[in-house]
Structure 1
Amino acid sequence: MKKSTLLMLLITIALVAAGCNGGNSGGNSGSNSGSEEQGSKSGKSGKTEFLFWSPFSGADGPFMKQIVDRYNASQDQYSVKFVIQPNGEYYKQLDVALSASKDRPDLVIMHLDQIPTYQSKGQLQELDDIAANASISKRDYVEAAIDYATIDGKWYGIPLDIHPLVMYYNKDLFDKAGITAAPTNREEFEAAVEKLTDPGAGVYGYVVPTLWPQQFIFPTLVWQNGGELWDGSTVAYNSPEAVEMVEWMRGLIDKGVSPGNVQQDGENTLFLQGKNAIQFNGPWMKSQFDEAGLNFGVAPVPQIGKAKQAVYGGSHNFAIPQGVTDENVLAGIGDFLKYISSNSLDWAESGQALASIPMIESEAFKALPQSAIAESFSYVQFAPNVLNWPTISEPIWGELNNALLGNKSAQQAMDDAVAKSVQAIE
């Protein structure tokens, strides 16, 4: 090859390379790179972008996406990038993300009972100033959730919803049995489930789950009966009050108003088939029952225990990781959360009961069947405010399963659960 030809070829290659590099060094590219590192730079639209993670990988995901899409379309200053992580892996993914600066979310959904643990590790930032700047007030939310998320006088979680255990009942089966109202106490409940049970048709009054959602049912019954899961210094679910409620559930199986050895989700399968008249479960089930075309009602869980009315609940909260410092992003998060406080009816459509008092008191929410759930907010209780409670309490569920299957007495099962939990604490 001639020198002149080689020279021209080299010049051409250099010009092409320079053109490519020049195209990649524009302002948009720089912003996108920064966004990947911090999740807090302006996007192509010029809006301040921030990354929002949630575990809503089930039927509730589209409802939250609709809220985000409507917010993004409602204003020109901020843009929320909404990412759904698999529910079962959510906290593992979050732990990894929070340990690194890259791809860390700016805003997360966090279950209320996880807030003390993440706060104790220094991974959440206080929300008081952010809320104040966005005109968000604690008075506008259900008090029980606010109290739980306030640690040492600082606020760490803004509640989206309260999801207590609720009672679903098959209206057609109730009509057939001549029952005109949902039961509200143990006497009414026991009378109803016996009337509703029809062995010949394979219909049960109340199918006792041996696994999930006992995580909501068992605490509810213990508290109603005057017991506690945590006595202030250690676990307490082998108390006479707790054991009595385990025996009561096993008694329903022995009486035949429930089948024995119910597999995971067996109670729900039978409810969908019209073979289970009453089911205790969470608000998130509503959309599934709607899609199935069931004629069902929603009501607070009856007071089965002898001491008081109480119900176990959870709550999805908005929390901000400690490392988010961009003032524009924090302002955008505040603006988004303020929007949600008065524009979250889409979330209620998923079956959830909202935590925003203005939304709860709105005529639109009151018109929804699940508005009855809010009746229980005055006596809702959350998991003990104890660090690593999910790990500590894990032995309950396997031992409760043993008791409900008849493999152990209620007292022995709960004693064994306590022993295992004490080991987890130590």
Structure 2
Amino acid sequence: MLNIDAFAGFANDQLLYPATDVLSDSTAKDFQDTFAKNASVDGAQYGMPLIASARALFYNKDLFDKAGISAPPKTWDELETAARKITETGVPGYGLPLGSEEAQGETGIWFYGAGGGYGDAQKITVDTPENLEGATFIQKLVDEKLTQADAGATNRTPLINVFIQGQLGMIEALPPTVGQIKEKNPALNYGIAPIPTKDGSPFTLGVADHLMAFKNDGKKQDAIRKFLDYFYSTDVYTQWVEAEGFLPTTKSGAEKLASNPDTKPFLDLLPNARFYPSTNKAWTATQGAVQSLIGQIAQGKDPATVLKEIQAKADAAS
């Protein structure tokens, strides 16, 4: 067995058991539908979603009160207004990390929020009208100085630390950020809300690592099934997930942890999760192109040109 995020290559080489061959029916049906679909190739599930992560909007309640903002934004227009009011108090309104560390994540938030995305297992689609709308809005936030300085080169980890220290109005962050706040600045008065989108529709960027079982002449199949059914049993699995600071990929796990205030905001978003097209062989090249090029829109380069350049690299890898 192997735990890694990428399984499609092994599946295409026919090295893996289908999930149904190493899981009981009850365990197989317990995975969140969106995560099971994301763990599939040509309609057959090969990956067992191990742990989940999702994005949500973290916002500083004290800065919101100071700026006269009564509620977290749900739409882009509301986010722009909130960011402007916070910036006028002397603190950057929105944290925009377009540096290479996690540029594909921040960018994906705006692509999916406009109704676009990165495509699917069959075709990578970066140069689209929807994605251009998202990229143009990112540039607008920068041009109007509603973000931190040098957004095109800012990495996510240090920027989250700026938020944790109370020096940033809003940022898209992850479940482990909650634990980091408790450790570094437990006095921070913050809230967690769904990601604002163009029209306010619910969405989160989902990420999952996977377990996969390699074929071994059938000798270990029963042992693998026994282990996986035990591992994904509700009490065992949720204890492990909580210790890791992430989210469960199972429905029963989500129900058990629903009362945990640290994870509930993220769990509520999981049914609307969207994912990178990681089963597309061109995704690795696409991700690299986004990480190296997208920051240029924060430096004034035409967004349409940047998207065309990224698309060209994706097409070359297809």
Query: Does structure 1 retain, via aligned residues, the 8 Å contact 2:59–2:190?
Result: yes
Report the Cα offset of residue 153 of structure 1: 5.1
State the partner residue of 1:280.
172
Q: In the alignment, residue 145 of structure 1 is paired with which amino acid?
A: F
Q: How does 1:271-350 map to 2 (within 5 A)?
A: 271-292=163-184, 293=186, 294-303=188-197, 305-306=198-199, 308-323=201-216, 325-326=219-220, 329-339=223-233, 343-348=237-242, 350=244
CA distance in 2, matches of 1:214, 1:349: 27
What's the Cα RMSD here? Answer: 2.6
Report the Cα offset of residue 161 of structure 1: 3.2
CA distance in 2, matches of 1:258, 1:139: 43
State the partner residue of 2:272.
379
Q: Deviations over 1:282-318 (max 9, x none)?
A: 2232221221123322222112x24954332111222
Q: In the alignment, residue 290 of structure 1 is paired with which amino acid?
A: K
Whether 2:147 is the aligned partner of 1:258: answer: yes
State the partner residue of 1:222.
111
Pick the aligned partner of 1:405 from 296, 299, 315.
299
Q: Work out the number of aligned pairs and report it.
A: 310
Whether 2:245 is the aligned partner of 1:369: answer: no
Whether 2:248 is the aligned partner of 1:354: answer: yes
CA distance in 2, matches of 1:236, 1:194: 32
State the partner residue of 1:130.
22
Q: Give SS of 1:366's match.
A: coil
Report the Cα offset of residue 328 of structure 1: 6.5
Query: Does structure 2 retain, via aligned residues, the 8 Å contact 1:225–1:242?
Result: yes
Q: Deviations over 1:173-229 (max 9, x none)?
A: 2232233322222232122112222464xx111021122433222223212212242
Change (3 A) 1:276 1:349: farther
State the partner residue of 1:420.
313
CA distance in 1, matches of 2:211, 2:265: 24
Q: Give SS of 2:7's match.
A: helix
CA distance in 1, matches of 2:230, 2:299: 48
Q: Deviations over 1:107-153 (max 9, x none)?
A: 33232xx2222211233222313212xx6433212101112223355
Q: How does 1:82-97 map to 2 (within 5 A)?
A: none
Q: In the alignment, residue 293 of structure 2 is paired with which amino acid?
A: E
CA distance in 1, matches of 2:123, 2:259: 41
Name whichever of 153-162 and 373-382 sits farther off: 153-162
Query: Does structure 1 retain, via aligned residues, the 8 Å contact 2:282–2:315?
Result: no
Q: In the alignment, residue 383 of structure 1 is paired with which amino acid?
A: Y
Query: Does structure 1 retain, via aligned residues, the 8 Å contact 2:234–2:253?
Result: no
Query: Does structure 1 retain, via aligned residues, the 8 Å contact 2:95–2:171?
Result: yes
Report the Cα offset of residue 402 of structure 1: 1.3
State the partner residue of 1:174.
64
Q: Give SS of 1:365's match.
A: coil
State the partner residue of 1:161.
51
Change (3 A) 1:129 1:176: same
What is the percent sequence identity of the aligned residues?
Answer: 21
Change (3 A) 1:223 1:400: same
The TM-score, its normalising length taken from structure 1, stands at: 0.66
Query: Does structure 1 retain, via aligned residues, the 8 Å contact 2:34–2:273?
Result: yes
Query: Does structure 2 retain, via aligned residues, the 8 Å contact 1:130–1:330?
Result: yes
Pick the aligned partner of 1:208 from 96, 101, 104.
96
Q: Deviations over 1:17-40 (max 9, x none)?
A: xxxxxxxxxxxxxxxxxxxxxxxx
Query: Does structure 2 retain, via aligned residues, the 8 Å contact 1:246–1:404?
Result: no
Change (3 A) 1:233 1:346: closer
Q: In the alignment, residue 145 of structure 2 is paired with which amino acid?
A: G
Larger radius of gyration: 1
The TM-score, its normalising length taken from structure 2, stands at: 0.86
Gaps of 5+ in 1: 1-106
CA distance in 1, matches of 2:304, 2:196: 24
